[in-house]
Amino acid sequence: MEYMSLLLFLVVCVVLLLGYPVAYSLAGTALIFAGVGIVTGNFEVAFLQTLPNRLFGIMNNQTLLAVPLFVFMGITLEKSKVAENLLTSISALFGRFNGGLAVAVILVGMLLAASTGIVGATVVTMGLLSLPSMLKRGYDPAFASGSIAATGTLGQIIPPSIALVILGDVLSSAYQQAQLDMGIFSPESVSVGDLFVGAIIPGLLLVMMYLLYVIGKSLLDKSATGGIEYQTVTDSTNLKEILSALLPPLLLILVVLGSILGGYATPTEAAGVGACGALVIALIRKQMTFSRLQEVMLSTTKVTSMVFLILIGASIFSVVFRGYGGEELIEGVFSSLPGGTFSAILLVMVVIFLLGFILDFIEITFVVVPIVGPVLLAMGVDPIWLGIMIAVNLQTSFLTPPFGFALFYLRGVAPDSVKTSQIYKGVIPFIAMQILLLVAIAVWPELVTWLPEKVYG
């Protein structure tokens, strides 16, 4: 009956492709399979009896409390026009250079990624604010749209990312499960803070590669950037505006990350500081009215409810999958692969990459990682390294034509004059850079593990 678990996974994928909501698809399909198994005597009811404790554990999880707080922080900064002010100010600063607007887009996108941590929000915001300006200045549509789409996906890897918060919590459970399966009854743990620290060097490397590509493209092919841009910063007033736009969000990011890296706060506590700081910035700029606060609260509630409903559905799916012996099946497949651990990791990365075409990072993290995580970690894979590999892999998947989520987000806000084929063409160099980063992390795991060891010993 182990193959019933594989059939369960395939049926869930089909149901999702039919367009049904993710949470209901996961829970509903799993409960139907469990019901059939109970009637035929092939599934133990005891597995379902563990669900109340699992659901209470979700509600009582202090780490996941960071999710609504970081979402509130990101939406508040978005509503307070921080992104718009940042883009205007940094564009003025770099506007004297050829390709300066593209450089500004990447730098603002990096700051937005660290502020919001939501891929869709960053892509849509940057697409609405910067794409019309870039096209107006004569930028090649493929180059402009590719820069925006790629920069928007930085929210997947640059901390404090919501994706890393969720991934860190799931990996922590998987790591403890793996150690218990190995007979280690005093298991070590991995935290969200570990993943935040591990993501810093890969995230900065990716931003540097983006910048080098944009600058190189501007120098070698001036037609891609519309030639020289002449907007300059000429007086102290403009410089003051730039600093006033740049410093508050930058200071907020430094406080949030600094409190985690310095050991002064947990990610959840730092998320509370970030949410409060974002609200203060919005109030100082007089961008937060009561009605806008209601919008922020409603949006935060919707996103948070979606995340936790998917987590509940994924928990039900995971219980039924294990009840049918799915974990033993995965372990058997991995152990029989030629090449051992390398082949197992490669297979998982390919599957996650393909699933990234039809599932968001939340579903993949809650559904796939609990299934394959304990098996891989029991094979000796470093949990922080695995988490960053998965995050970068998903980031690449979200950017890859024809099904990448970032491409759909940008297509939805791009002018009709920008063809879909131009968007696809523009992201290809950035996909190559992300694959290069994945290979570099695989060859030199120290790119991920060195900084957490230095910070946390």
pTM here is 0.83
Per-residue pLDDT of the chain (457 residues; tens, 9 = 90+): 667 888 888 898 888 878 788 888 889 999 999 999 999 888 888 888 888 888 888 888 887 888 888 888 888 887 877 777 777 777 777 766 777 888 888 888 888 777 666 666 678 777 887 888 888 888 889 998 999 888 888 878 888 778 888 888 888 888 887 887 777 767 777 888 888 889 999 999 999 999 999 989 888 887 777 665 444 444 444 677 777 778 888 888 888 888 887 778 888 888 899 899 989 988 888 888 888 899 989 988 988 888 888 888 888 888 898 888 887 888 788 878 887 888 889 988 988 888 877 777 777 888 888 888 888 888 888 999 999 999 999 888 888 887 777 888 888 888 888 888 898 999 999 999 999 999 999 999 999 999 988 887 6
- Around 361, how many Cα atoms within 13 Å sit in the side-chain half-sphere? 31
The span from the CA of 204 to the CA of 211, in Å, is 11
Residue 359 in tokens: 């599932």
The span from the CA of 18 to the CA of 8, in Å, is 15
Comparing C-alpha atoms, which of 67, 161, 69, 164 is closest to residue 115?
A: 161
Q: C-alpha angle with apex 102: 96 to 106, nearest 5 degrees?
A: 120
- The pLDDT score that the predictor gives to residue 232 is 46
- The pLDDT score that the predictor gives to residue 235 is 45
The span from the CA of 325 to the CA of 182, in Å, is 18
- Around 395, how many Cα atoms within 13 Å sit in the side-chain half-sphere? 37
The span from the CA of 276 to the CA of 274, in Å, is 5
Domain segments of the chain as ranges: 66-295+324-456
Distances (CA, A) of 87 to 105, 233, 293, 314: 7, 14, 23, 38
